[in-house]
């Protein structure tokens, strides 16, 4: 106890909680003093030690991929989404897989495999927003998120590869609300601006994102693509090519209020 409470971050309850849990599962009493001495003094360091152990003991690449997918997501991921995302190889992107097309066919890993992954990670995960009805998972503490980002996603190519994987997954998502939450974000993060323009001018996507509570995000995305002028040109062309007479009200109202007015 004396060794533990003299650590740099011992005044932080989270540091003590994670460190004590790590000591609880250590299981070698004669080496306990040495184990405590080896624990990093800072919270980020001890989380990194624990996550590396969990990756080794609870499923290897599946655990690592779960951490990276959740961190790369915009609003967390549900168990139903993760069991499909973890069923597609390679789990850990490499330089050769970054350009390879990713196909999701609805295949899932066995729930027993997911249960084992979750068993290892459960102390770091929580329902997104504190109580998501769809079981969406996110990191319990922002320090855990930071460690995953700095340790496992420090390479930009790896981060982009995970964004591409999530973009491919949400592109075929049948839930339009969920699709609109995640797909534009991942396409923008992967710098796939051509596909992003196509998505934003998709009729179903536009009709969902042009609702009052999503309009600001829609316009923010267009600003990152080139601004109001580009959005106006894209939707004007869309109207000319795809919308029949009498069906233009929603689009023209949006153009007037958010683009011409802006």
- SS3 track for the chain: CHHHHCCCCCCCHHHHHHHHHHHHCCCCHHHHHHHHHHCCCCHHHHHHHHHHHHHHHCCCHHHHHHHHHHHHCCCCECHHHHHHHCCCCCCCCCCCCCCCCCCCCCCCCCHHHHHHHHHHHHHHEEEHHHCCCCCCEEECCHHHHHHHHHHHCCCHHHHHHHHHHHHHHHHCCCCHHHHHHHHHHHHHHCCCHHHHHHHHCCHHHHHHHCCCCCHHHHHHHHHHHCCHHHHHHHHHHHHHHHCCCCCCHHHHHHHHHHHHCC
pLDDT at 131: 46
Question: What is the model's pLDDT at position 132?
Answer: 46
- pLDDT for 130: 45
Residue extents of the structural domains in the chain: 1-41, 56-169, 192-262
Q: Determine the pLDDT at residue 99.
A: 57
| pLDDT, position 106 | 84
What pLDDT tens digit does each residue of the chain (262 aa) get? Answer: 999 999 999 999 999 999 999 999 888 889 999 999 999 999 999 999 999 999 999 989 999 999 999 999 999 999 999 999 999 988 887 655 555 668 888 899 999 999 999 999 999 998 755 444 467 899 989 999 999 999 999 999 999 999 999 999 999 999 999 999 999 999 999 999 999 999 999 989 998 998 888 989 999 999 999 888 888 888 888 877 766 555 566 666 666 666 655 5
Instruction: Kindly report the pTM of this predicted structure.
Output: 0.86
């Amino acid at each position: 106890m004396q060794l533990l409470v003299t650590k740099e971050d011992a005044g932080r309850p989270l540091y003590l909680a994670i460190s004590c849990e790590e000591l609880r599962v250590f299981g070698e009493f004669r080496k306990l003093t040495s184990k405590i001495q080896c624990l990093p003094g800072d919270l980020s360091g001890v989380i990194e030690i624990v996550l590396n152990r969990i990756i080794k003991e609870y499923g290897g690449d599946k655990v690592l991929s779960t951490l990276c997918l959740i961190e790369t997501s915009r609003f967390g991921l549900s168990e139903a989404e993760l069991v499909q995302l973890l069923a597609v190889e390679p789990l850990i992107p490499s330089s050769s897989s970054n350009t390879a097309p990713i196909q999701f066919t609805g295949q899932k890993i066995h729930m027993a495999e997911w249960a084992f992954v979750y068993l290892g990670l459960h102390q770091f995960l929580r329902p997104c927003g504190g109580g998501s009805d769809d079981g969406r998972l996110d990191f319990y503490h922002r320090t855990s998120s930071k460690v995953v980002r700095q340790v496992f996603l420090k390479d930009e190519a790896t981060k982009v590869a995970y964004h591409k994987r999530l973009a491919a997954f949400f592109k075929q998502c049948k839930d339009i609300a969920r699709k609109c939450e995640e797909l534009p974000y991942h396409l923008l993060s992967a710098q796939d601006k051509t596909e992003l323009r196509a998505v934003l001018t998709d009729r179903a996507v536009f009709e969902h994102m042009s609702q009052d509570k999503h309009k600001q995000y829609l316009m923010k995305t267009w600003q990152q693509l080139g601004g109001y002028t580009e959005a106006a040109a894209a939707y004007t062309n869309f109207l000319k090519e795809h919308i029949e007479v009498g069906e233009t009200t929603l689009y023209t109202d949006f153009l007037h209020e958010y683009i011409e007015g802006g």
